């Protein structure tokens, strides 16, 4: 049994031999896809800039709305990842981590911004998401469509690491190459 996706997002994944922790680069996101038994898991790590166009605490309603929209899109992986219907996968888990989460904020009536926003300093921020599906026929998981480029036009490249019964691999997707071989 491959133990992955435990603990810190980046540290918990078993990287293919020789792979290094990917640096934060605007326009680029990292995707980790694992098939273990009947479980399909995906982790996405992206600079916030790719998703909303800024990397600081929201300063106005427009930026809060952009964060909320990105969160909502990430919470709906059925639109981001196209898994073969024959695999019979059912979503079991969808979690989004944002440095400035917006979900549920309206009920509080005031902001709880605990982000460390230092104006004038060159800071960066990321958003993480992870998903898990249970699949009736995991053997049918031979490929997967990745629609992140439509949802997030600022995103230009996705670095992918895969861990499947067939082994571990790495590939790069872009707007012209959206199909991931598994
Ligand atoms: Zn950045």
How far apart, in whole angstroms, are the C-alpha atoms of residue 4 and residue 161?
12
Give 161 Cα–ligand 1 centroid separation in angstroms. Answer: 21
H-helix or E-strand spanning residue 48:
helix 48-52
Beta-carbon contacts of 83 under 8 Å, excluding residues fewer than 6 positions away, are 40, 89, 133, 135, 141, 144
Give residue 103's pLDDT band: very low, low, confident or very high (50, 70, 90).
confident
Query: Which strand (E) or helix (H) includes residue 131?
Result: strand 126-135
Ligand 1 mean position to 116 CA, how many Å? 14
Task: Output the pLDDT for position 106.
Answer: 56
Question: Would you say 142 and 181 are in contact if contact means Cβ atoms under 8 Å apart?
Answer: yes
**Does 2 have pLDDT greater than 70?**
no
- Cα 126 to middle of ligand 1, angstroms: 7
Each residue of 151-160: pLDDT tens digit? 999 999 999 9
**CB neighbour list of residue 153: distance below 8 Å, 6 or more residues apart:** none
78 CA to centre of ligand 1 in angstroms: 27
- How far, in Å, is the centroid of ligand 1 from the Cα of 24? 6
Instruction: Write down the pLDDT at residue 81.
Output: 97
How far apart are the CA of 124 and the centre of ligand 1, in A? 4
Ligand 1 centroid–CA 55 distance in Å is 6
Distance 15 CA to ligand 1 centre (A): 23
Q: Of 83, 67, 70, 46, give the one whose Cα is nearest residue 151.
A: 70
Instruction: Judge whether 147 and 178 are in contact, CB under 8 Å.
Output: yes
Distance 67 CA to ligand 1 centre (A): 15
Cα 137 to Cα 38: distance, rounded to the nearest angstrom: 7
Q: What angle do CA 30, 83, 166 make, to 5 degrees?
A: 70
Query: Which residue ranges make up each domain of the chain?
Result: 28-107+118-181
Mean pLDDT computed over 83-106? 91
pTM assigned to the model: 0.81
Q: Would strands 157-164 and 167-174 be described as parallel, antiparallel, or unpaired?
A: antiparallel
pLDDT reading at 24 higher than 70: yes
């Amino acid at each position: 049994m491959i133990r992955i996706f435990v603990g810190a997002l980046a540290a918990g994944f078993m990287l293919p031999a020789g792979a290094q922790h990917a640096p934060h680069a605007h326009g680029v996101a990292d995707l980790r896809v694992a098939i273990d038994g009947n479980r399909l898991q995906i982790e996405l790590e992206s600079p916030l800039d790719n998703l909303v166009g800024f990397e600081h605490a929201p300063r106005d309603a427009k930026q809060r709305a952009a964060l909320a929209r990105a969160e909502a899109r990430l919470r709906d992986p059925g639109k981001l990842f196209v898994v073969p219907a024959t695999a019979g996968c059912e979503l079991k888990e969808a979690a989004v981590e944002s440095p400035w989460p917006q979900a549920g904020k309206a009920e509080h009536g005031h902001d709880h911004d605990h982000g460390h926003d230092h104006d004038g300093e060159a800071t960066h921020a990321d958003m993480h998401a992870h998903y898990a599906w249970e699949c009736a026929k995991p053997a049918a998981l031979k490929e997967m469509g990745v629609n992140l480029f439509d949802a997030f036009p600022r995103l230009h490249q996705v670095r992918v690491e895969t861990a499947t019964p067939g082994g571990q691999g790495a590939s790069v997707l872009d707007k012209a190459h959206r199909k991931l071989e598994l």
